[in-house]
Structure 1
Amino acid sequence: MASEDVKTSEAAVTTIVSLAEEAKLAREGVKAPSYAVLSICKSLVAGGVAGGVSRTAVAPLERLKILLQVQNPRNIKYNGTIQGLKYIWRTEGFRGLFKGNGTNCARIVPNSAVKFFSYEEASKGILWLYQQKTGNEDAQLTPLLRLGAGACAGIIAMSATYPMDMVRGRLTVQTDKSPYQYRGMFHALSTVLREEGPRALYKGWLPSVIGVIPYVGLNFAVYESLKDWLVKAKPFGLVQDSDLSVTTRLACGAAAGTVGQTVAYPLDVIRRRMQMVGWKDAASIVTGDGRSKAPLEYTGMIDAFRKTVRYEGFGALYKGLVPNSVKVVPSIAIAFVTYEVVKDILGVEIRISD
């Protein structure tokens, strides 16, 4: 018993000493291992919350955008943003406006968490390399370097969650009258795996990778650069005490979203269409060669571009751009601001732009 008491006392002393050391390190500005892990977790949580909140807020526009992107050109149901939303409401009700949002959130929460965290880590790594190369320890990230960090973050996040994005696209376009129904995300995943094989989960991945570079890269680069410029130039009295208001940050996010989505949008259309390939009932939604009964077939990204432009015109590459613009501007703005606000609430020291 005595030896057990001694061991217990020694363990307690060891624990107290460890806690004291961590507290000392924290006071001195050095992150102890557990402190660093906690900070990473908080950063991931902030990114996940930002993604979930922003996407749910614009879910009806997200669904309409995808329906416009892939609808059969011989059987037009959705002619625009207002008409499209009214049609969904009339034929499918309120729930129809949010169809696929659960799957979207299941994808976007980890996607957003990984994206924001990857951006911060990539930014730190790129900045360190830039400082070493220039020999200037006070050097800061340039817009081009931010573009590179954003591109890295986008590729990592998109690749990690792409299968969920693929099945989300199919869940989103099916209606109550579709000949086959996926019952949910996991049913869709298992069905695609069983009927089309594992590679089918990454259909459209290449245009997604190419598209995510300008899209996410420009989002971060424009947002960060605008913030830096506003803090330094202080135009129109928008900055008080070197801090931007929520409204100003929302405006920066809106500008970033507008630039990024306009450049990358055609690749998003092609990605959605390639995701439909192999789905035996996709011909009821979109056609591959302009005939309403034809199976949907693309041999690759270039072929998808070629057939889309040949049979539907160049404008088909921008189908759904209006609802996407209405969606992206508030979505990106809300995501950036929510991320920073949640990190403030959780007490995370590192913030993008710092």
Structure 2
Amino acid sequence: MSEDQSATTTAEMASTTHTTSKNTLKSYGRAFIHFIQSEPTVSLLAGGIAGALSRTAVSPMERVKVLYQVQGSSSSYNKGTMATVHQIFKEEGYKGLFRGNGINCIRIVPYTAVQYSVYQEMKKWLGTNEEGNLSVGNKLIAGSVCGLASVLVTYPMDLVKTRLSIQTAKSLALNKKSSTSSAGSATTRTTEPKKPMGMFKNVAHIYKYEGGFRALYRGLAPTSLGVAPYVALNFAIYEKLTELFPKEWRSNPMVTLSAGALSGGIGQTLIYPMDILRRRFQVATLSDGAMGFKYNSTWHALVTIVKVEGYKGLYKGWTANMWKIMPSMAVQWASYDFIKNTLQSL
């Protein structure tokens, strides 16, 4: 074989190899896009990203809400929502406004991802009408199931997020004093400020000192009682509101933002007392009961709060929560629809 023929053969082989590699890459690319666009994947991705965006946007309001919910009869934070935001900023700086947001994002990504993907699967299982919509009853069923699923998957992270949210630069400024017994008489001592524990130290502390694995799920019952109906109402109201518009309008940002804000606000208002109980149980054993809460059951907690704090105690932090939940759900639903439509159009 001549040198020219050899060079030609080598070039042809190189070209063939290059073409094969290119086709293989295209094949992998098509398979990847198909995977991304499949219903379970697109719901997981869109839900997770939307959840992280929405919670980060309202993180300061989330922290204020939790502080109100767990302060009992303390007056550490009682000057209004914006005044509390300013107080946190003054005492702890910019980072204080976002304390607990890291673990919240780690929690919320799988939380919302599971929520949206399970809801879509429930729609297939329950069956939809010609327009692809569930009946109101089935919307509530699907929402309840996806709410419970998301809670079970992410509850320990929610517990830790709550602990991080109430830690302050003053170390438990909500309840600085605790009672101890000395020589048969009651004395009062003031706890010294300590550096707040981080995410992993919180997990280790809860597991080691508060009851092992079961302690990581303390407060699961009231949480489930609150989350299941809330998610059910949130999904049902959102979809019902968007169904009022022509199909071509339903992806309009103004429609999704408005429907998301209303569905979140209405749903959260109706189940808010359960959210109070959820937070109280999550911090009840913090610092050997320094928070001042001691409940035997969900019902006992409900009765005790009404007796000690009045019916207003069941809605403590509601205003801050509305500042949080309405823009949060508006961003979440709008982001979810936008990301989902974008992925499906690739």
Whether TM-score is above 0.5 comes out as yes
Match of residue 252, structure 1, among 239, 250, 259: 259
Gapped runs of 5+ residues in structure 1? 1-8, 24-31, 132-136, 233-240, 289-296, 350-354
Q: 1:301 to 1:65 in 2, by over 3 A?
A: same
Asked if structure 1 preserves the Cα contact closer than 8 Å seen for 2:114 and 2:149, the reply is yes
Asked if structure 1 preserves the Cα contact closer than 8 Å seen for 2:243 and 2:250, the reply is no
| Residue matched to 2:64 | 64
Give the Å deviation of 1:183: 3.0
Asked if structure 2 preserves the Cα contact closer than 8 Å seen for 1:180 and 1:281, the reply is no
Q: TM-score, normalised by structure 1?
A: 0.79
Q: Distance in 1 between matches of 2:133 and 2:251?
A: 19
Q: Distance in 2 between matches of 1:220 and 1:139?
A: 14
Asked if structure 2 preserves the Cα contact closer than 8 Å seen for 1:42 and 1:343, the reply is yes
CA deviation profile, 1:155-198 (whole Å, cap 9, x unmatched): 10111000000011011101112145453222111110011121
Give the Å deviation of 1:116: 0.9
Is 1:112 aligned with 2:102?
no
Q: 1:71 to 1:138 in 2, by over 3 A?
A: closer
Question: Which residues of 2 match residues 35-184 of structure 1 at below 5 A?
Answer: 35=34, 39=38, 40-127=40-127, 140-178=133-171, 179-184=193-198
Give the Å deviation of 1:230: 1.7
Give the Å deviation of 1:333: 1.0
Give the Å deviation of 1:138: 7.5
Q: Distance in 1 between matches of 2:43 and 2:133?
A: 22
Match of residue 212, structure 1, among 227, 237, 249: 227
Q: 1:250 to 1:158 in 2, by over 3 A?
A: same
Q: Distance in 2 between matches of 1:333 and 1:216?
A: 14
Give the Å deviation of 1:72: 3.9
Is 1:346 aligned with 2:332?
no
| Residue matched to 2:280 | 273
Q: 1:345 to 1:163 in 2, by over 3 A?
A: same
Is 1:187 aligned with 2:201?
yes
Gapped runs of 5+ residues in structure 2? 1-16, 172-192
Q: Distance in 1 between matches of 2:249 and 2:326?
A: 25
Asked if structure 2 preserves the Cα contact closer than 8 Å seen for 1:206 and 1:301, the reply is yes
Asked if structure 2 preserves the Cα contact closer than 8 Å seen for 1:55 and 1:331, the reply is yes
* Residue identity in the other structure for 2:340: K
Q: TM-score, normalised by structure 2?
A: 0.80
Q: Distance in 2 between matches of 1:209 and 1:304?
A: 15
The structure with the larger Rg is 2
* Residue identity in the other structure for 1:107: R
Q: CA RMSD in A?
A: 2.7
